[in-house]
C-alpha cells in the first residue's frame, strides 16, 4: 500500500513538472551597466551548469540599482561598480557585510570618436577649444562619474571643465554619446571602450589613486538565498572569471 501511495505521489510531482507547475530556481541579479555583456554570458553559462536554474538580469547605474533595492525591488544579488555604493547597501542593511566579495577590477579611460582628429594625450588637453562636450556619468549616482570627478579634482580640472561636462545616466550612455559623435570625448571603463573599437578610440588611461574594484553580494531580503549565494560563488569561480577576462575585466 505504501509503495502504491509513493508511486502515486511521484507521478503527481512528475506531472506537475511536465505541465510547468514546478518553478525552476530563479535568481534576480541587479548589476552595474558595465557588466551587461559579460553577465549575460555568465548567466547563460550558469544556467547550463545548473539544470533548472534561471537568471533574471537587471542593469543600470549602481546608485540607481541600489535605490531600487532600498524601495523593495525583489533582487537576490547586487553587483556594484564601486565600493562606495556597496558600503551604502551595507549601511542600510540591504546587504550583510560578510556576504560582500570583490570579484573583478577595471580601469578608467578617456575616449574620443574614431574619426576625431583631436590630439588628446592627457587630462589637461581637455581644455583645448575642440573639447566642448565631454560625457561623464553623473557623479551623484554613477560610479564612473565619481571616479572621473576624483581624477579631475586631483588634476585641478573639475572647475575649469565643469561647464563642458554632459552628465549621463550610466557608463553605456556616455559611450553611446561619443560613438555617435554627440560628445567630443567621454570617460568610460576600458571594458566598455573595447566593445566599440570601430566607433571610438582610447586616448589614454586616466590615472587614479584608487582602484576600480567591483563587489558582489546576495541581498539580505533575497527570496532565494541559497540560489543567490550559489550565483555569487559562481561569479568568483574559474568559468565566470574566464568570461569576465574575455571582456577585458581584471582579476580582483
For residue 34, say whether it is annotated as part of any ligand binding site.
Answer: yes
Which cell numbers hold the place of 238?
A: 574559474
For residue 30, say whether it is annotated as part of any ligand binding site.
Answer: no
For 70, half-sphere exposure in the C-beta direction (CA atoms, 13 angstrom radius) is 14
Rounded distance, CA 24 to CA 241, Å? 25
Q: Which of 169-207 are b and which e, b meaning 16 or more Cβ less than 10 Å from the residue's Cβ?
A: bbbbbbbbbbbeeebbbbbbbbbbbebbeebbbebeebe
For residue 225, say whether it is annotated as part of any ligand binding site.
Answer: no
For residue 144, say whether it is annotated as part of any ligand binding site.
Answer: no
Please count the other Cβ atoms lying within 10 Å of the Cβ belonging to residue 115: 9
Strand partners, 167: 136
- The annotation places the binding site for molybdate at 34, 62, 171, 189
- The annotation places the binding site at 34, 62, 171, 189
Amino acid at each position: 500500500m505504501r509503495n502504491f501511495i509513493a508511486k502515486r505521489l511521484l507521478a503527481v510531482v512528475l506531472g506537475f513538472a511536465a505541465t510547468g507547475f514546478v518553478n525552476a530556481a530563479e535568481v534576480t541579479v541587479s548589476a552595474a551597466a558595465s557588466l551587461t555583456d559579460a553577465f549575460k554570458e555568465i548567466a547563460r553559462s550558469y544556467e547550463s551548469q545548473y539544470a533548472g536554474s534561471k537568471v533574471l538580469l537587471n542593469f543600470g547605474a549602481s546608485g540607481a540599482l541600489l535605490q531600487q533595492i532600498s524601495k523593495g525591488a525583489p533582487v537576490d544579488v547586487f553587483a556594484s561598480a564601486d565600493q562606495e555604493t556597496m558600503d551604502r547597501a551595507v549601511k542600510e542593511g540591504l546587504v550583510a557585510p560578510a556576504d560582500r566579495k570583490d570579484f573583478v577590477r577595471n580601469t578608467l579611460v578617456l575616449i574620443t570618436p574614431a574619426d576625431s582628429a583631436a590630439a588628446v594625450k592627457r587630462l589637461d588637453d581637455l581644455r583645448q577649444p575642440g573639447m566642448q562636450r565631454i560625457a561623464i556619468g553623473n557623479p551623484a549616482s554613477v560610479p564612473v562619474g565619481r571616479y572621473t570627478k576624483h581624477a579631475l579634482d586631483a588634476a585641478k580640472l573639475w572647475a575649469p571643465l565643469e561647464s563642458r561636462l554632459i552628465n549621463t545616466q550610466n557608463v553605456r550612455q556616455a559611450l553611446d554619446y561619443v560613438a555617435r559623435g554627440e560628445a567630443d570625448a567621454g570617460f568610460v571603463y576600458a571594458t566598455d571602450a573595447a566593445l566599440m573599437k570601430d566607433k571610438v578610440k582610447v586616448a589614454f588611461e586616466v590615472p587614479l589613486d584608487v582602484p576600480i574594484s567591483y563587489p558582489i553580494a546576495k541581498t539580505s531580503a533575497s527570496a532565494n538565498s541559497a540560489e543567490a549565494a550559489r550565483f555569487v560563488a559562481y561569479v568568483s569561480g574559474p568559468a565566470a572569471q574566464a568570461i569576465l577576462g574575455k571582456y577585458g575585466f581584471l582579476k580582483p
